[in-house]
Structure 1
Amino acid sequence: MSTSAPASLTGRTVLVANPSADLYGSDRMMLEAVRGLLKQNSRVIATCSRTGPLVDRLQELGVTVHITEVPVIRKSMLSPRGMLNLARIVMSTFPRMRRLIGAARADIVIANTLTLPFWTLAARSCRRPIIVYVHEAESSLSRAARTLLTAPLGLADGVVFNSETSRIACKAQALERRGKVRVVLNGVQGPATSRPPRDHIEGPARLLFVGRLSPRKGPDLIIDAAALLRSMGIAVTVDLVGDVFPGYEWYEDQLRARVRELHLEGVVRFRGFQSPVWEAIDGADMMIVPSRGDESFGNVVIESLLSARPVIVADHTGLREAASGFESAVRVAPDDPKAVADAVRRVLEDWGHFRAVAMVEAVVAQARLGTDRFHEGFGRAVEELDR
């Protein structure tokens, strides 16, 4: 497979805009996209709406990062009144965005996620090509809200979707007719070394959740599943690795209250945010990805597969796409703690088989969903859309 740099990207300056500076799914994919662009000999400048751990990671790559406080679209804003209020805020930040595009001498602007439509407008006003990197698959939104969120794509020069799920949900038919859509499946950087799963489960089975502590991600389902497993006579521990989005502290309080209500103190442990997550995964027997809400893809599913850990996955949207073809990814009915508990029991009862399959499929996952494939695919997509 050729790794030569596309001529149209070599030496070109790409300004990549990200809504936050965290290290969750879309943030990590932005980081991998930057690595891919650097491999194509591009000059990359990044901007985030606030500071955070992503900034350090970008700077380690030699990328200059500007903190530009640009409004980020939230679901609460997806109404005509909310958008009007947002427009008033944008008026004060729009000149700064245009100045950054000019000062960076950007040849291409890439806006990471649909939540940054104002970078699309700013790039167009500066007559720079704008590519939107879409991670969302919000098919559950109302038609009006989805239209408000996706309408700015009509001004983009191209769109890179992170999955077929997000492409279908976004319904960007006009861009598709123009040949301005590409799908590049997420690529996940696996661990440098990985501890094999335990030969035999002695003592409690170790369950792991990695992600935001939020209702849509469903960690409460794992807590309830742990109680059901105990009632079946199956001992488990549950590690919750992640934190809440600011403003959702109430949800963590609810989780902790549920743990006390079910007498699971010492069984369920709140580990906070961790990056990288490989040490936590090394200590687990299997992972649980129980998201209630639509997901465009499932990076945590891939992290589990790369680490040779069986994974229990809610069977919907992008999680189904990520888990497809992997026997060690056991799909279950969404929003159903009993389905999660039954799947855990099934894996434990046939542990030798699932362990062996997971170790084989770790190699398959690396070839199919590793970062080398992603870096080349993303760079090629940007080069093609910039023609």
Structure 2
Amino acid sequence: GTALVVHPGAELYGSDRVVLGSVAGLVADGWRVVVVLPGPGPLVPALVGEGAEVEFAPQFVLRKRLLRPRGWGELVSTAVRGASAAWAALRRHRPDVVLVNTITVPQWPVAARLRRIPVVVHVHEGESQAGAGVKTVMYAPLLAARRIIVNSRFSLAVMAQTIPALSARADVILNAVPGPPTPLPPRATLDGAPRLAYVGRLSPRKGVDLIVDALRLLHDAGTPATLDLYGAVFPGYEWYEEELRSLIASGGLQESVTLHGFVDDVWPGLAGADILVVPSRLDEPFGNTAVEGVLASRPVVVSATSGLLEATDGYATARRVPADSARAIAEAVAEIVASWETVLPQLEPARSMAANRHDPGVYGDHVAAVVAASAAAPASAD
């Protein structure tokens, strides 16, 4: 049969990498997979490499700014184009099932339901701090889904609190997080100069400026740490990168911080690091990057919030710190450096646990099973 997969971007950040794992599982299960994206990007060759067909179509992507009055014009125009494109793709491919990746493309579940095509929505969001009205708008289209895949218990709780009826059709499947081909062993000694790394979007909610502030605190305390930033800003947030550069300059850290921009392959960067920092200010539905740090055999410092707590649960090499605190990050890094001999033997057991918990093959099988069950269920299941 044919599975039509819809995704709102073509980069290779968290949900992009997860949809890649979903596609791999569907192809392995014998589906013909067609992926609809809004445009080209590094995700495209990766999807083709997994055996999927890829096409581009206008998409209505629900952004919070569109819900404000000044965004209503753009909301209407993109909604019209997106609805037309969704309807045309469903008519053209006549899929047996539709998998919608994220809740930010709300027209697709509704369009598929209207065409009597079973639809599965994969929820990656956990916007607990959004207002009740906004959350209702975001989650309401899921009522058109036959099954819902949720990436964490935290995301499930936020969804169920908003629309309780959705929990009955939901399955929690932890994200697939492939590890590096060959993990590079950590350094035996740090010589008092730890190498910190951050991987992900450069944005205020991700708290990247907090690491820069923490680095300055470490330098002030006599620890000449360095920091590598792997990631780029979302279009429209260029001002934040300028603020980061100003913060780096004002702290005299130009020789200690390197901005690498977006990288397809995170493993060389993690191999060159001693400690990964994930300093999110706001709730994260999960924490793929934190898991990647564990899989790279590196200790991680994460904000003690939401899905990051879930992502690092059980790992002795994870340090949880209060959100929005550069000082707490600096203190956690200093503690890891001071206890490095104790940390080293804990890294391999943590890596092995993460590899089992987030095995891509197991994940792909679980997703394929949910999709197949949804396609096979009678129409009355809706």
TM superposition score category, shorter chain reference: over 0.9
Q: 1:358 aligns with which of 330, 347, 359?
A: 347
Choose which of 315, 323, 331 in structure 2 pairs with 1:326: 315
Does the Cα contact within 8 Å between 1:240 and 1:269 map onto a contact in 2?
Answer: yes
2:234 aligns to what? 245
1:173 aligns with 2:174: no
Structure 1, residues 66-87: CA drift from partner, whole Å, max 9, x if none? 1111121111123578567524
Unaligned regions of 5+ residues in structure 2, if any?
378-382
Once the two structures are superposed, residues 292-311 of structure 1 have per-residue CA deviations (whole angstroms, 9 ceiling, x without a partner) of: 12111000111011111000
1:151-166 equivalences in 2 (<5 Å): 151-166=140-155
**Which residue in the other structure is 2:253 paired with?**
264
Q: Residues of 1 paired with 2:327 and 2:227: CA distance?
A: 16
RMSD: 1.4
Separation of aligned partners in 1, 2:370 and 2:85? 28
Letter in 2 for 1:289: V
Distance (Å, rounded) in 2 between the aligned partners of 1:18 and 1:33: 11
| 1:311 paired residue number | 300
Task: Give the conservation status (yes or no) of the 8 Å contact 2:194–2:226.
Answer: yes
Match of 2:34 among 45, 52, 56: 45
Whether the 8 Å CA contact 2:97–2:371 is kept in 1: the answer is no
The equivalent residue for 1:371 is 360
Q: How does 1:172-321 map to 2 (within 5 A)?
A: 172-176=163-167, 179-202=168-191, 204-321=193-310
Rounded to whole Å, the distance in 2 between the matches of 1:155 and 1:82 is 26
Letter aligned with residue 345 of structure 1: A
User: Secondary structure of 1:292's partner?
Assistant: coil
Matched, 1:76 2:65: yes
Mapped to 1, the partners of 2:78 and 2:230 lie a distance apart of 35
Q: Structure 2: how far apart are the matches of 1:85 and 1:240?
A: 33
Does the 8 Å CA contact 1:49/1:71 hold for their aligned counterparts? no
| Equivalent in the alignment of 1:344 | 333
Contact 2:278–2:301 (CA under 8 A) maintained in structure 1: yes
What is the alpha-carbon distance in structure 2 between the residues aligned to residue 384 and residue 59 of structure 1? 25
Stretch of structure 1 that moved more, 85-94 or 358-367:
85-94
Q: Residue 204 of structure 2: SS of its match in structure 1?
A: coil
Matched positions, count: 374
Give, in angstroms, the shift of residue 91 of structure 1: 2.1
Note the C-alpha offset of 1:126. 1.7
Query: CA separation in 2, counterparts of 1:248 and 1:169?
Result: 27
CA-to-aligned-CA distance 1:211-255 (integer Å, 9 cap, x gap): 000001111000000000111111100000000000100000000
- Shift in Å, 1:96: 2.4
**1:123 paired residue number:** 112
Query: For residue 240 of structure 1, what is the amino acid of its counterpart?
Result: L
Contact persistence 1:110–1:132 (CA under 8 A): yes
Letter in 1 for 2:9: S
Query: Structure 1 CA distance, aligned partners of 2:177 and 2:86?
Result: 30
Query: 2:97 touches 2:374 (CA, 8 Å); kept in 1?
Result: no
Question: Once the 2 structures are TM-superposed, how far is the Cα of residue 209 of structure 1 from its aligned partner?
Answer: 0.2
Instruction: String of CA shifts for 1:236-282, please: whole Å, max 9, x gaps.
Output: 00000000000100000000000001110111110111111000000
In 2, are the aligned partners of 1:298 and 1:319 still within 8 Å (CA)?
A: yes
Number of the residue aligned with 2:130: 141
Instruction: Name structure 1 gaps, 5 residues minimum.
Output: 1-11
User: Does structure 1 conserve the Cα–Cα contact (< 8 Å) formed by 2:98 and 2:117?
Assistant: yes
In the aligned structure 1, how far is the partner of 2:99 from the partner of 2:235?
26
- TM-aligned CA deviation for residue 372 of structure 1: 2.0
Indicate yes or no: 2:6 matched with 1:17. yes
Q: Secondary structure at the match of 1:15?
A: strand
Secondary structure (helix, strand or coil) at the match of 1:188 reads: coil
Task: Say which is worse superposed, 91-100 or 108-117, in terms of deviation.
Answer: 91-100
Matches of 1:197 and 1:128, distance apart in 2: 50
- Equivalent-residue separation in structure 1 for 2:218 and 2:18 (angstroms): 35
Letter in 1 for 2:247: R
- What is residue 63 of structure 1 aligned with on the other side? 52
TM-score after normalising by structure 2: 0.95
Q: CA deviation at 1:92?
A: 3.2
Distance 1:205 1:89 in 2: 47
